[in-house]
């Protein structure tokens, strides 16, 4: 361990500064995840609408079987990435929550509404999986 590392380890922020930082991380994780997931739902909805309404896109997909395979693979990978991103937001949220509880600045009931629970993450990921499944079905349906 270098002298600089030891020095950085001994510098400590005040309890209020720690609280403010961690509370902002907790809020950012919650609202960031919800914002991100709604934006991704909008993207998926646009793709579904485009597939349904674009004759050129349907003709192209029907004429090129490889495009269908690539499209299905891309959507499936996208769904897995959405689950990974949601899990990452959840981990950040729990880390900030756990550290907030350690400093005992305020009772847990003030922070718990901002925590990304497994139910919230699962519900958002499930909704996206449904949209991805619909998109994959449209890709497979085009003949």
Q: State how far the alpha carbon of 104 is from the alpha carbons of 9, 23, 41, in Å.
A: 21, 12, 37
- The per-residue pLDDT for 3 is 55
Residue 11: pLDDT over 60: no
* Per-residue model confidence as pLDDT tens digits over 17-50: 999 999 999 999 999 999 999 999 999 998 888 8
Q: DSSP readout, 99-135? A: HHHHHTSS-GGGTGGGS--HHHHHHHHHHHHHHHHHH
Q: How many Å apart are CA 47 and CA 43, to the nearest integer?
A: 6
- Largest Cα span, the chain: 67
Q: Report the candidate in 120, 39, 112, 132 with the shortest Cα–Cα distance to residue 86.
A: 120
* Per-residue model confidence as pLDDT tens digits over 116-140: 999 999 999 999 999 999 999 988 8
- The per-residue pLDDT for 74 is 94
Q: State how far the alpha carbon of 10 is from the alpha carbons of 1, 71, 141, in Å.
A: 13, 52, 62
Q: What percent of the chain has pLDDT over 90?
A: 58
Query: Mean pLDDT in the chain?
Result: 88
- The per-residue pLDDT for 104 is 87
């Amino acid at each position: 361990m270098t002298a600089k590392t030891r020095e950085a380890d001994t510098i400590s922020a005040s309890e209020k500064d720690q609280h403010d930082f961690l509370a902002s991380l907790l809020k950012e994780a919650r609202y960031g995840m919800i914002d991100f997931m709604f934006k991704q739902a909008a993207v998926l909805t646009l793709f579904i609408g485009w597939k349904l309404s674009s004759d050129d896109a349907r003709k192209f997909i029907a004429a090129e079987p490889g495009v269908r395979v690539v499209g299905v693979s891309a959507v499936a990978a996208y769904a897995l990435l959405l689950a990974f991103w949601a899990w990452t937001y959840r981990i950040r949220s729990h880390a900030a929550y756990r550290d907030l509880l350690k400093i005992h600045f305020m009772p847990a009931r003030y922070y718990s509404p901002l925590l990304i629970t497994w139910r919230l993450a699962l519900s958002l990921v499930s909704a996206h999986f449904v949209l991805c499944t619909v998109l994959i079905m449209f890709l497979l349906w085009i003949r």
